[in-house]
Structure 1
Amino acid sequence: MHLSDLKNLKIAIVGAGYGGAAAAKALSLLGADVDVYEQAGRIGEVGAGIGLRPSTMNRFREWGIFDAVAKVSSPSDYFEILTATGERMMKEAWPAAGEQTHTHLIHRGDFIDALLGVLPEGMVHLGHKLETVQDKGDSAVLTFADGRTAEADLVVGGDGIKSVVRRELFTDKAPVFSGEHAYRTVIDVDDAYGMVVDDNLRMYIGRGTKIYLLPLRHRNQVSFDVTALCPDGTWAPQVTKDALLATVEGFDERLVNITRDLDMNTVNIRAVYDIDPVDTWHTDSVVLVGDAAHSMLHHQGQGANSAIEDAGALADALRRADSVKEALALFQATRKPVTDELQRISRQGWTEEEIHEVFPGQKPASAAAPQE
């Protein structure tokens, strides 16, 4: 699109998570008039650490925000997969994009703060819970729970796995339960029983359970993440310390000790969900990005990275195409084959034997998300 057309483009982004915040930065750099509407009254990201791949970091370099992210993250050289008792199964260098760009490990909260911190003041509007989206063809109207409305030439649905935009315009299929629970927290390095010796991610695999240790050197902390098979699909289940300890039985005693020492009030406990691939991500004036378009399981560590890549690809498409309609078609053609494959691979987290042991005669991925 011509520069003058981009500068006259009014864009409304629903959701201030990874995809929404990144899209806001990328699209505002085109000169468009961008507003972000977030349902929360304040921004806060729970959970633990994630890895930002070189392609993601290169997007930040392109947008001029590399340093803002780098100063709250730690570069990493490789990751290891080990048995429950610590025997190495695989050691693999992170793929690099040139000598200067490495994978960076970061806390989710620091990541959101860094993204929002580079947006112009007043761009993000909190306390806007979306109720409906009306697609008018060449524009769309958002209606919020308090009756306020906003109209834009382009609406970007970055509102996550429970996306209202997706439900209203694309599909009403519910999120899909994976048959897993994720238990995530952050602890001091000093409380990790000497298991954190560098800045590299390690994953320990036992029967039905995986434990991730992801160093956050810039915080002097480590992200401790236990993912375990469990038939309870309650969105936010109640789990006792004894139940959590049972999932790590047979692991390296140091990992068991870390689990035993946890303050359960600091542990984020969630049943793990994704969504089936969405056939179409866009109309002529509305498009989905990030988890709203392709929420995936965390086994490949690609959720946040895919959201950032979506933001960059959407900006690229708007720059190259002759119209918003053509840009959205180009965006989907570019990104959907990639994320469909990542969703497929991410679902291959367990062996059939392990799944049948926990879910005898069942297929856990057939369960729909509970209503909140």
Structure 2
Amino acid sequence: MQHSELKNLKIAVVGAGYGGAAAAKALSLLGAQVDVYEQAHRIREVGAGIGLRPATMNRFRQWGVFEAIAKVSSPSEYFEILTATGEPIMKEAWPADGAQRHTHLIHRGDFIEALLGVLPEGMVHLGHRLEGVRDLGERSVLTFAGGKTVEADLVVGADGIKSVVRQQLFSDKGPVFSGEHAYRAVISVDDAHGMVTDDNLRMYIGRGTKVYLLPLRHRGQVSFDITALCPDGAWNPEVTRDDVLATVEGFDERLIAITRGLDMAGVNVRAVYDIDPVETWHSDSVVLVGDAAHSMLHHQGQGANSAIEDAGALADALREASSVREALARYQAVRKPETDKLQAISRQGWSAEEIEDVFPGQKPADAAPKE
């Protein structure tokens, strides 16, 4: 699209998470008028550690925000997969992208704060909970709690796994329970029992359980994540310390000690969900990005990276196409095959025997994670 057309484009981004903040940055660099509407009344530090792949960091370099991200992250050279007791299974360097060869390990809260910190003042509007979206063809209207309405030439639905935009316009299917729980905490390096000596991600695999150690040494901390098979699909299940300890039975004694020492009040406990692939991500004036389009299980560590890539691809398509409509079709054609593949790979987590242990009498096809 011509610069003059992009400059006159009014864009409303719903959601200020990874995808929304990245989309806002990428689209604002085109010269468009961008506003972000976030339902939370304040942005606060939540979640645990994630890894930003080399391709993602190159997007940040392209957008001029590489240093802002790099200064609150630790560069990692490789990832390693080990047995529950620490025997090596595989060790690989991160897939390089040009000269960028490091994955940057970062706390989710620091990441969101850094992204929002590079947006122009006044672009993000907090306390806006979306209730409805009306697609009028070449424009759309958003309605928020309290009755406020916003009209835009392009609506970017970056409102997560429970996306209102997706469910009202593109798919009424709800999130899908994976058959897993995730127990996540951020602990001091001093409480990691000597298991963190560098900046590289390690995953320990046992029967029905995976334990991730993701160093955040720039913070003097470690993101500690236990993912375990469990049939309780409540979004925020109630578990005890003994429940969590039972998932790491047979693991390295140091991992058991870390688990035993967790402050349960600081452990984020949640059932793990994704969504089935969405056939269509866009209309003529509305488009989905990030988890709203393709929420996936975290086994491949690709959720945040995919959201950033979505934002970059959407901006590229708007720059290269002759109209918004053409751009949205081009964006989906580029991104959907890749995210469909990642969603499928992320669901390949457990053997039929392990699933049978947790879901007695069910065939693997009946119980998630899906084979």
Instruction: Report TM bin, short chain.
Output: over 0.9
> C-alpha deviations, 1:215-245, integer Å up to 9, x for none?
0011010000000000000000011001000
> Against the structure 1 CA distance between its residues 366 and 50, is the aligned structure 2 distance closer, same or farther, given a 3 Å change threshold?
closer
**Does the 8 Å CA contact 2:54/2:100 hold for their aligned counterparts?**
no
Tell me what 2:172 maps to: 172
Residue of structure 2 equivalent to 1:370: none
1:209 aligns with 2:209: yes
The answer for the alignment partner of 1:295 in structure 2 is 295
Distance 1:37 1:97 in 2: 32
Name segments (4+ residues, structure 1) moved above 6 Å. none
The 8 Å contact of residues 19 and 290 in structure 1, kept in 2 or not, is answered as yes
The secondary structure found in structure 1 opposite 2:246 is helix
Q: CA deviation at 1:100?
A: 4.2
Question: Judging changes above 3 Å, is the alpha-carbon distance between structure 1 residues 191 and 273 closer, same or farther for their aligned structure 2 residues?
Answer: same
Q: Secondary structure at the match of 2:47?
A: coil
Question: In the aligned structure 1, how far is the partner of 2:360 from the partner of 2:346?
Answer: 22
Match of 1:96 in 2: 96
Question: C-alpha deviations, 1:25-55, integer Å up to 9, x for none?
Answer: 0000000000000000011242210100000
Q: Aligned AA for 1:289?
A: V
1:365 is paired with a residue of what secondary structure? coil
2:42 matched to 1:42? Answer: yes
1:211 maps to amino acid: V
| Alignment partner, residue 2 of structure 2 | 2
- Report the residue type matching 2:295 in the other structure: S
CA distance in 2 between partners of 1:154 and 1:147 (Å): 20
Residues 109-188 of structure 1: matches in 2 within 5 Å?
A: 109-188=109-188
Q: Whole-Å Cα distance in 2 between the matches of residues 157 and 252 of structure 1?
A: 43
CA distance in 2, matches of 1:98, 1:150: 41
* Conserved? CA contact 1:182–1:270, under 8 Å: yes
Using the alignment, how far apart are the partners of 2:180 and 2:367 within structure 1? 9
Structure 2 residue aligned with 1:319 = 319
- The structural deviation recorded for 1:207 is 0.3
> Unpaired runs of 5+ in structure 2?
none
**C-alpha offsets along residues 63-121 of structure 1, whole Å, 9 cap, x if unaligned?**
00000000000000011100100000111111122344411000000000000000000
Q: Aligned partner of 1:233: which letter?
A: G
How far, CA to CA, are the matches of 1:219 and 1:252 in structure 2? 25
Distance 1:45 1:356 in 2: 37
Name the amino acid aligned to 2:160. G
Q: Partner of 1:238: helix, strand, or coil? A: coil
Alpha-carbon spacing, 1:293–1:100, altered in 2? closer, same or farther (3 Å)? closer
| Shift in Å, 1:361 | 2.4
Give, in whole Å, the separation in 2 of the partners of 1:92 and 1:351: 23
Cα distance in structure 2, aligned partners of 1:366 and 1:108: 24
Counterpart-to-counterpart distance in 1, 2:66 and 2:140: 33
Which structure 2 residues correspond to residues 1-372 of structure 1 after superposition, within 5 A? Answer: 1-362=1-362, 363-365=366-368
State whether residues 57 and 101 of structure 1, in contact with CA within 8 Å, keep that contact through their aligned partners in structure 2: no
Stretch of structure 1 that moved more, 352-361 or 274-283: 352-361
Report the Cα offset of residue 351 of structure 1.
1.1
Unaligned runs of 5+ in 1: 368-372
1:101–1:80: structure 2 CA closer, same or farther, 3 Å change rule? closer
Shift of 1:365: 3.2
Kindly provide the amino acid, as one letter, of the partner of residue 79 in structure 1: F
CA distance in 2, matches of 1:5, 1:193: 57
Question: For residues 98-147 of structure 1, what are the alpha-carbon distances to aligned partners after superposition, in whole Å with 9 as ceiling and x for unaligned?
Answer: 34441100000000000000000000000000000000001000000110
TM-score using structure 2 length: 0.98
Once the two structures are superposed, what CA deviation does each residue of 1:2-25 show, in whole Å capped at 9, x if it has no partner?
Answer: 000000000000000000000000
Please say if residues 231 and 364 of structure 1, whose CA atoms lie closer than 8 Å, have aligned partners that are also in contact.
no
CA distance in 1: counterparts of 2:326 and 2:45, whole angstroms: 34
**Take 1:101 and 1:136, find their aligned partners in 2: how far apart are those partners?**
44
SS for the counterpart of 1:193 is: coil
Give the whole-Å Cα distance in 2 for the aligned partners of 1:56 and 1:366: 27
Kindly indicate whether the alpha-carbon contact (under 8 Å) linking 1:182 and 1:269 is maintained by their aligned counterparts in 2.
Answer: yes
CA distance in 2, matches of 1:361, 1:44: 43
- Partner AA of 2:135 in structure 1: D
Tell me how far apart the structure 2 counterparts of residues 361 and 75 of structure 1 sit (CA, whole Å). 45
Number of equivalences: 367
Q: Is contact 2:72–2:110 with CA below 8 Å preserved after alignment?
A: yes
Q: Are residues 100 and 170 of structure 1, via their aligned partners in 2, closer, same or farther at CA, if it must alter by over 3 Å? A: closer
Is the 1:139–1:151 contact (alpha carbons within 8 Å) kept by the matching residues of 2?
Answer: yes
Equivalent AA in structure 1 for residue 27 of structure 2? L
Name the amino acid aligned to 2:287: V
